Amino acid sequence: MKTLIYYPNAKNIEFNKYGEAQNTTQYVIPDGVEVIRSKAFYKCYYLDDIQIPDSVKRVEEKAFHRCSALLSIDLPDNLEFIGKDAFAYCELIESVTIPASIKQIDEYAFFNCYGMKKLDIYSAEDKVTLGENWYPTQNGQQIGECEINWLG
């Protein structure tokens, strides 16, 4: 009960003939979950709001990959690890706050998050292990308008 392996099947979601979601929904991750496994929310195009409890310490590889309707994400205060491509292609997210507890952000964690305007990290840069191109990018280039603030 401490690991979220896969998002439960979507209820009340209507799809068109091309398999595209016609409406959006939200999901609250149960309190007590500590790990969001690889691809747990992979291609959940219809989720626009996901509530993550403070019990979560790890967001693994591609956990929220291609959650293209996701408008914002509040990362929990105890988060220590963000995996490779964890939030890749979450194009609508405009800002993210990463807590002081973070120890590692893997490569391409925010790849093609081209809507990102602000990234606040409440840790010192030298205390976080950073993967290649971990920051918000668009087509492999750092997004010029995105303000990255190290606040630790």
When comparing pLDDT for 64 and 22, which is higher? 64
Confidence of residue 114 (pLDDT cuts 50, 70, 90): confident
d(CA 98, CA 114): 18
**In the prediction, which pLDDT does 89 show?**
94
Domains: count for the chain? 1
Q: What is the mean pLDDT of the chain?
A: 89
**Host domain of residue 91:** 1-5+19-152
14 assigned to some structural domain: no
**What per-residue string of b and e applies to 18-45 under the rule 16 or more CB within 10 Å gives b?**
eeebeebbeeebeeebbbbbbbbbbebb
12 assigned to some structural domain: no
10 assigned to some structural domain: no
C-alpha dist (Å) from residue 108 to 24, 32, 33, 84: 26, 27, 24, 6
**In the prediction, which pLDDT does 45 show?**
82
152 assigned to some structural domain: yes
146 assigned to some structural domain: yes
Percent of the chain with pLDDT over 90: 66
Confidence of residue 10 (pLDDT cuts 50, 70, 90): low
28 assigned to some structural domain: yes
Does this model's pTM top 0.75?
yes
Q: Taking the CB of residue 63, how many other CB atoms lie within 10 A of it?
A: 25
CATH number, residue 77: 3.80.10
Residue 90's contacts (CB-CB under 8 Å, 6 or more residues apart) are 64, 66, 67, 68, 70, 73, 110, 113
